[in-house]
Structure 1
């Protein structure tokens, strides 16, 4: 059902671009208004804000990057600029394979791209370090699709040590998805966090 809903939105973008843009603009305006109330109410108490939407599938972007640049990123830039005006670090969330637009996100002022979905195409830590070193930070990297669920504590420790070697700075090491699900062995979680804090 979710796939049908996403597909319907993408078809609307192509068939009725003016209507699609009008809807996107209205959504952006809504979030700008609501966020301003939130930022004013929490001024001085926040360090960072998470914004974004899922643009990627396991193997590629769900829509051509030029369409995102044409219809979506103008609103995203407004949301980033608004958060920056309050001195906040901006974390942009999108699951999946989003390699072609990571540069766009950093150019818009995004500070941290979240998450690194480790098994998605072109989202391995070596590729990200090679292409985006010193351009911004990342959050994620520890595979939550297979490794955390089916791996051993020793494998988790080894994976974290590799991440620390390949990406010594500019990376918050965490599961590649924000949730730690019930089917994950607690020993794997413990091993992951112990390896993160091991000097």
Structure 2
């Protein structure tokens, strides 16, 4: 696909050809059951060894538990056994010198807490046994704080920012109420944000979907960049976000990956990207409106997006 279209031998070479000035580095993690930090915690109550174990609909380890003291009955992994500081240093130091280096740490404690109970049970536990929900979430955040400390110490002085991910939005609205986001999600996120700030890092906070009702809360929590602008989600129109929040936070995204990049022409992508630049003279990292480019996107549309982003 993309590498062949751009005649590149590697992802790094392709990014260089496109003049991509943001270089993400994912925190390395290796265990017998996981090869990525975002799959480090597996809560399937009846594991099958398949990818299905990672879905939020399977019964979770804490499915029927309501006593917070039972949190330690889960076999929590020790990040120090699975994160090699030398690998962290090597991956970050391989980044281009003129790029903004972003450590992708995910630390998706909301998703993981939902998986820990099974999503339906997690949302019921929020209301029926809130202290149990909080206890599991706190323990998950503790795991990520320890993992992140290893990564931050190993890469001190080389990172510019980090990306935290917690999907709380859907196409039309938040998945839970704004009050529940404030009560059950943001306390853990603030701990992770403060840790990054203590290392002098900018914080990019990822959530797919329509999250406009809690962007003020993210700003108050210390978020520097909201990722992404999911262009077709309700109340996430770029002009609206710029007018309401643009003086207080930056954004990343905005080039629609649901319809425009998939079905549009290169000329249409170019025009939409130029419009984004007009709305956001500053304060926007132009990128697709989701965190991945899927195989159904025409490479010519990617080329048009980058051309529009860089041309004077």
What is the TM-score normalised by the length of structure 2? 0.62
- Shift in Å, 1:71: 1.6
Residue 146 of structure 1 is matched in structure 2 by: 259
Write the mapping of 1:1-199 to structure 2, written as runs, cut at 5 A.
Answer: 2=55, 4=57, 5-199=118-312
1: CA distance between counterparts of 2:56 and 2:164? 22
2: CA distance between counterparts of 1:128 and 1:113? 10
1: CA distance between counterparts of 2:125 and 2:229? 29
Is the partner of 1:180 in helix, strand or coil?
A: coil
2: CA distance between counterparts of 1:114 and 1:57? 14
* Structure 2 unpaired stretches of 5+: 1-51, 58-117
Q: Quickly say closer, same or farther: Cα 1:3–1:85, change in 2 above 3 A.
A: closer
Q: Deviations over 1:98-117 (max 9, x none)?
A: 00111111111111010110
Q: Deviations over 1:124-159 (max 9, x none)?
A: 101101110211100000000000000001100110
Q: Deviations over 1:30-74 (max 9, x none)?
A: 111111111111111111111121000000000011111112211
1: CA distance between counterparts of 2:284 and 2:119? 30
Q: Return 119-128 or 31-40, whichever deviates more.
A: 31-40
- Shift in Å, 1:3: 6.7
Which one scores higher on RCO, CA 8 angstroms, separation ≥ 6?
1
CA RMSD of aligned residues (A): 1.3
The number of equivalent residue pairs is 199
Which structure dedicates a bigger proportion of its chain to helix? 1
Work out which of the two has the higher radius of gyration on C-alpha atoms and give 1 or 2: 2
What is the TM-score normalised by the length of structure 1? 0.96
2: CA distance between counterparts of 1:7 and 1:52? 20
* Structure 1 unpaired stretches of 5+: none
Q: Return 56-65 or 1-10, whichever deviates more.
A: 1-10
Is the partner of 1:173 in helix, strand or coil?
A: strand
